[in-house]
Chain A
Amino acid sequence: MQQAAPQAPIDPVAVATSICNQYGAQLQDTLIAVGSFVATMTEAQARQMSHDSRVEVVMGDIAGDGDAVQSVPTAFDWGLDYIDQRTSVRDFRFVYQNTGAGVHAYVMDGGIWIQHPDFGGRASLDYCPIPGRTADDIDWNSPVGPHGTPAASIIGGTRAGVAKNVRLHSVKISENNRAYVSDVTRGFDWIVRNHVKPAVVNCSFGFKRIGSSWFWQGTSPFEKAARRVLSAGVTVVVSAGNENQNADGRSPAWRSELITVGASDVNNNRAVYNSSSASNYGSVIDLFAPGKEVTASSYYGQGSGRIAHPNAFFGGTSAAAPYVTGVVALYLQSNPNASPAQVQDWLKNNATQNRINTNNLPSDTTRRFLFTNQ
């Protein structure tokens, strides 16, 4: 955000518009009473504009008192950079007020390597219902690499995360990217019985929706379990899935009372990964969040030879949901008694409307994009 003061405006709106058009800036507001305008622009555009005789000064926007600012150090790291601003002009910063302190995030995934420095001792191995496995079996041998650790880092990593002081709980319900509905159901059950409020659950997993061809109608047992979690006052965030299909066919993504998250890319398009895989879409999606080529904390290697990695690439709706979970933690810090429905309404209303492009988005799918600031 840049701010400038026109020198001798006759018609402030016309002058500001003219200046912005000349330098390719996007005019946000004309502040007639103080002879200024607010616009978004690149640094190069700002430098050019500063030499214009109609402009007294151009200055970069700064956060007010109480905000913390994290420099987003690399061009790779667009996820954090995008969610704290309404536009896609990168400022290479992540500005936040809350940190998720006092909020508990339950990560239903393949496990978290809690010793990773990015978690700062705020993560714990809480529960693992998988027979023969323990909570500290962290997908070491997965052929596709870590999953729970990068997801958790986006929620609450000190560097990679949205909520830098949230308490992270590992509920290990998958192994080598395979999950059973039984383990998921057990995981929800454990959370109902053991959670500490304020709390949010991240579900970066999904199944084919179990329909009436099965022996139950409509809602599956683990979806019912998820609703029990909601009834207990715990918000649940779920990935929309990566099948390039309507998320109405995925479970638990189709449940309207859960917060269903689609993935977008740096160009604000629905994320496409290859010819067969893209973010799901459809009317059940509540909002989009960064989910392609974002950076997260991860690790190399196995056993004692593993090496913490602060800047691994991660993508998919498994990456998008954790951004939303992190923002929910920020919100719950200030609104610890908010119900899941209130959190869902706030997320949708606070999101940047119409930010996702329509070019590969069905008309029934929201264009909302996650926004952090309250």
Chain B
Amino acid sequence: MRNLFYAAVCLLSVGLCGCGSASSSPPRTPPDQSGRVTITEGVWGQVWLLQGNFMPGSATGTVTPVRRTIHFYEPTTADQTTSATDPPGRFYSEVRSRQVATVESDEKGFFQLNLPPGRYSYFVREEQGYLYAYTSYEEDANTPPTINPIDVRLGKVTKLQIRIDYEAAY
């Protein structure tokens, strides 16, 4: 409807016929899984695999819920890891901090995990066998940079939306 309205505004003298879509379809958001959360303290989330083109106006990429194993470690800094690539990127062949827990997402990408309050770093096991970190690290003036940090607070369940987007272009 918005395209037709626009065409009418700009091209009254030539009419509206032949007016096709001038926008790509937006990326389809997988269904929200928040209604499935049953824990009272820890982390719940969804794991989505992003592939293809997500440039505004041309977004034809896909967002797919996926099964993955998510690894939660004590807060981890870059010097506690070994990169799987040179130069370093988002894949790690080794994480040397203490692993706290792991959890599997299901076919809808949903997972939940009881975790005590605190800060953690999380990684996703990818099919290549490496651990994937969604972002490089957090950084501020007072604390050492932590890879993929997430905080769990007393009596709260933190939502963690994981986007695996190393095959996505924006």
Contact = CB atoms under 8 A, between A and B. Distances in A.
Interface of A: 73-76, 78, 90, 109-110, 131, 141-145, 147, 150, 173-182, 184-185, 204-208, 210, 213-216, 221, 239, 241-243, 250, 263, 266, 271, 273-274, 276-279, 293, 295, 298, 301, 307, 309-319
B167 A143 contact: no
A245 B11 CA distance: 30
A204 B56 contact: yes
A179 B28 contact: no
Contacts of A316: 53-55, 168-170
B24 A178 contact: yes
B25 A178 contact: yes
B-side interface mostly = loop
Contacts of A293: 89-90, 166
Contacts, number: 194
Given A185-B10, A277-B61, 20 more contacts: A73-B139, A75-B87, A144-B168, A147-B54, A180-B3, A180-B6, A180-B22, A180-B23, A206-B58, A208-B58, A214-B19, A215-B18, A266-B87, A273-B168, A276-B51, A279-B169, A311-B135, A311-B139, A314-B170, A316-B55
Tell me which of B3, B48, B138 has the highest count of chain A C-beta atoms within 10 A of its own C-beta. Answer: B138
Given A143-B29, A180-B6, A274-B52, A174 B169 contact: no
B139 A310 contact: yes
A318 B170 contact: yes
B163 interface: yes
B116 interface: no
A216 B17 CA distance: 11
Contacts of A175: 26
Interface in B126-162: 134-139, 145, 159
B84 interface: no
Given A78-B87, A131-B2, A143 B27 contact: yes
A315 B20 CA distance: 30
Contacts of B15: 215
A204 B2 CA distance: 22
A288 B50 CA distance: 24
B136 A76 contact: yes
Contacts of A313: 89-90, 134-136, 165-166
A312 B134 CA distance: 8
B19 A75 contact: no
Nearest to A312: B135
Q: Which 5 A-B pairs have the closest CB atoms?
A: A182-B6, A174-B56, A316-B169, A274-B167, A242-B169
A211 to B, nearest CB: 11
B115 interface: no
B30 interface: yes
Contacts of B54: 144, 147, 177, 316
A239 B15 CA distance: 31
A295 B48 contact: no
Contacts of A298: 135
Interface string B51-76: 11111111101010000000000000
B95 interface: no
B134 to A, nearest CB: 8
Given A76-B87, A277-B53, A312 B27 contact: no
Contacts of B30: 143
B136 A312 contact: yes
Contact of B59 (A76, A177, A274, A278): A177
A110 B56 contact: yes
B22 A143 contact: no
B169 A178 contact: no
Contacts of B139: 73, 310-311
A307 B29 CA distance: 22
Contact of A181 (B17, B22, B58): B22
Given A131-B2, A144-B165, A204 B26 contact: no
Contacts of B6: 180-182, 185
